[in-house]
Amino acid sequence: MTSSPLTTKPTDLSKEGAKFYLSPQLFAEAFPFHIVFNRNLEILQVGEVLQRVCPKLLVGDRLNDHLRVMRPSVAVDFEIFQKRSRSVFLLEFLHHDLQLKGQMSYDDTQDVIFFLCSIWVTDVSDLAPLGVKFKDFPIHDSICDFLVLLQVRSTALADTQRLTTELTHKQVQLEQALASQAQLAQTAKTQARELEHALKDLQSTQAQLVQTEKMSSLGQLVAGVAHEINNPANFIHGNLTYVHEYVENLLTLVEAYQEEYPQSSEGIQSLIEDIDLNFLKIDITKVLNSMQVGSERISDIVKSLRIFSRLDEAECKEIDLHEGIDSTLMILRNRLRGRSNHVEIQVIREYGLLPTVECYAGQLNQVFMNILSNAIDALDDFNEKRTQAETLLNPSYIRIRTEVFDDNWVCIRISDNGPGISPAICSKLFDPFFTTKPVGRGTGLGLSISHQVVVNRHCGRLYCHSEEGHGAEFVIEIPLRQLAYEDKRILLTNKY
């Protein structure tokens, strides 16, 4: 870390008032990617690891010469950072793809801002090109834990695929050996069929185990996050009404004073001009209304997370399917909206009048997630190959239609206007471990498990209509009441 007279603020850690300081050495070890800058945006201090991976020396340069703010949408401005002290920011370097995510913390004793951050990556393979290793991350950094989990998951899937390939190879060898012996031809065929069935069972079991563990962990994580967000969000939402009322009362009191004492003293008149009282009275109402809208939006997000996090519910319950679809779309909203490097994907809802449906809500929500995620991936890849004029002429969209048919069945159609799917690929869509995505982007388990959830778990049907160049449509059909199909469901579950 570049030497600097900057120090961290003392912290009172005992009843006697003793103050403890974090030495520069310990501060560098705890935050190896931090940046410290002053009101002129001059970079005063940079974490050792961050400076090592940057091609240029940062200390002494201006912050906005190297970085821009990706999230939230604000300018690189000291006062903005100061007002949003303790908020989370995502910054990106101007001259390369390195991104930093962390918290801006203003130190009023030195009039500087500490950006306590970490390199933001979503795949372990992204670390090596940056020259970063796991040991460079401090033990408290959650991104390190996230990357470790990704590495473990990738290793497990690679091992599974390798074992499957080896088992398939052994099957071929066995068939060849038995075929060469005429007297054992019938035995060879029987054993080959048994081995093939065992391979399919193994693949199905592997997919179920991976998905069960993944969904259980994800359900607990999402439910925990929703709970932790909900409590402070309720505090804010519940008190905003009172704050609004109190502010209106204070403004009324100020106006009454102005009417009662129109000739105020020079000191009060100077203070009124300094704080721009007229603007303050107008703007504070707008600020409170904005906070109200924000708190309501947080409540909607928490509600969607809670609905989607019903991933490990074992009971079959009556639910509103539209609620489950909307909660999934809320979670995917960031991937749907337009950005500087991403074309917006419109969502067209054509909901029919559906009664409540008996189903396993969490599992069905995951089916929606898998199909919608695949549609977004297909549209993103398609848009990368199109010009801006072509995109404006034919905007990307996903259409969701629901309806009741045959009185006791419900149909959900999810279609897009992407590149479509060839017949050769359509025939393999629901096979375990089949994927057309590059390595690291897909496991080939999503549609396979979705098919099991719809067909085996809900006694329904899942199929795809597609033509190359004309988009794709996935159709989910399930009975309104599962009790009538209980015997069939048990038979299918035991079979697989």
Per-residue pLDDT at 3? 45
Structure tokens at 161: 């695929």
Q: How does DSSP classify residue 452? A: I
Per the model's pLDDT, the better-predicted residue between 187 and 115 turns out to be: 115
Whole-angstrom Cα distance, residue 386 to residue 375?
Answer: 17
Q: Is the predicted pLDDT of residue 14 greater than 50, yes or no?
A: no
Give every CB contact of residue 410 below 8 A, 6+ residues apart in sequence.
321, 354, 357, 402, 403, 404, 477, 478, 479, 480
Give every CB contact of residue 104 below 8 A, 6+ residues apart in sequence.
81, 84, 85, 86, 87, 89, 113, 114, 115
pLDDT, mean of residues 277-298:
79
The reply to whether 133 falls in a domain is yes
- Tens digits of residue pLDDT in 398-417: 999 999 998 889 999 999 99
With beta carbons less than 8 A apart as the criterion, state whether 167 and 396 touch: no
Per-residue pLDDT at 227? 60
pLDDT band at 82; cut points 50, 70, 90: very high
User: Which of 20-34, 65-79, 442-456 has the weakest average pLDDT?
Assistant: 20-34
The reply to whether 77 falls in a domain is yes
Per-residue pLDDT at 445? 73
User: Which of 178-192, 264-278, 378-392 has the weakest average pLDDT?
Assistant: 178-192
Which helix (H) or strand (E) is 104 found in, with range?
strand 99-107
Q: Is the predicted pLDDT of residue 9 greater than 60, yes or no?
A: no
Per-residue pLDDT at 194? 82
Per-residue pLDDT at 168? 82
Q: Is the predicted pLDDT of residue 282 greater than 90, yes or no?
A: no
User: Which of 319-323, 355-359, 417-421, 490-494 has the weakest average pLDDT?
Assistant: 490-494
Dihedral Cα 199, 457, 431, 433, nearest 10 deg: -80
- Tens digits of residue pLDDT in 434-460: 777 776 566 667 788 888 889 888 889
Provide φ and ψ at 57, rounded to 5°. Answer: -70, 125
- Tens digits of residue pLDDT in 151-170: 666 676 777 788 888 888 88
Per-residue pLDDT at 348? 94
Structure tokens at 102: 């962390």
The reply to whether 165 falls in a domain is no
pLDDT band at 150; cut points 50, 70, 90: low
Whole-angstrom Cα distance, residue 465 to residue 449?
Answer: 19
Q: CATH number of the domain at 39, please.
A: 3.30.450.260
DSSP code per residue over 37-94: EETT-BEEEE-HHHHHHSSS--TTSBGGGTEEEEESS--S-HHHHHHTTT-EEEEEES
Could you say which of 120, 140, 160 is where a domain stops?
A: 140
User: Sign of the CA dihedral 82, 83, 89, 94?
Assistant: negative
pLDDT above 90 as % of the chain: 18
The reply to whether 422 falls in a domain is yes
pLDDT, mean of residues 462-467:
90
HSE-CB for 21 with a 13 A CA cutoff = 7
HSE-CB for 28 with a 13 A CA cutoff = 15
User: What pairs with residue 466 in β-bridges?
Assistant: 472
Q: Average pLDDT of the chain?
A: 79
Could you say which of 108, 140, 172 is where a domain stops?
A: 140
Q: Is the predicted pLDDT of residue 390 greater than 50, yes or no?
A: yes
pLDDT band at 208; cut points 50, 70, 90: low
The reply to whether 185 falls in a domain is no
Q: Is the predicted pLDDT of residue 116 greater than 70, yes or no?
A: yes
Specify burial of residue 404 (Cβ count, 10 A radius: 0-12, 13-18, 19+): middle
DSSP code per residue over 269-336: HHHHHHHTHHHHHHHHHHHHHHHHHHHHHHHHHHHHHHHHTGGG--S-EEE-HHHHHHHHHHHTHHHH
- Angle subtended at Cα 55 by Cα 52 and Cα 58, rounded to the nearest 5 degrees: 75
The reply to whether 89 falls in a domain is yes
**Nearest of 413, 420, 380 to residue 396 by alpha carbon:** 380
Q: How does DSSP classify residue 453? A: I
Structure tokens at 149: 């989990």
Q: Is the predicted pLDDT of residue 146 greater than 80, yes or no?
A: no
Per-residue pLDDT at 312? 46
Which helix (H) or strand (E) is 105 found in, with range?
strand 99-107
User: Which of 87-101, 119-133, 339-353, 373-387 has the weakest average pLDDT?
Assistant: 119-133
With beta carbons less than 8 A apart as the criterion, state whether 52 and 59 touch: no
> Residue 73 is part of which domain span?
11-140
User: Which of 32-41, 51-60, 393-402 has the weakest average pLDDT?
Assistant: 51-60
Q: CATH number of the domain at 465, please.
A: 3.30.565.10
**CA distance to 251, 299, 448, 461, per residue, from 181 (Å):** 98, 70, 37, 43
The reply to whether 33 falls in a domain is yes
- Tens digits of residue pLDDT in 185-194: 788 888 888 8
Specify which of 148-157, 171-180, 240-249, 468-477 reaches the highest per-range mean pLDDT.
Answer: 468-477
pLDDT band at 472; cut points 50, 70, 90: very high
User: Sign of the CA dihedral 185, 188, 192, 194?
Assistant: positive
Number of structural domains (the chain) is 2
Q: Is the predicted pLDDT of residue 478 greater than 90, yes or no?
A: yes
Q: Is the predicted pLDDT of residue 310 greater than 70, yes or no?
A: no
Whole-angstrom Cα distance, residue 195 to residue 33?
Answer: 53
Could you say which of 140, 156, 187 is where a domain stops?
A: 140
Per-residue pLDDT at 140? 57
Per-residue pLDDT at 83? 92
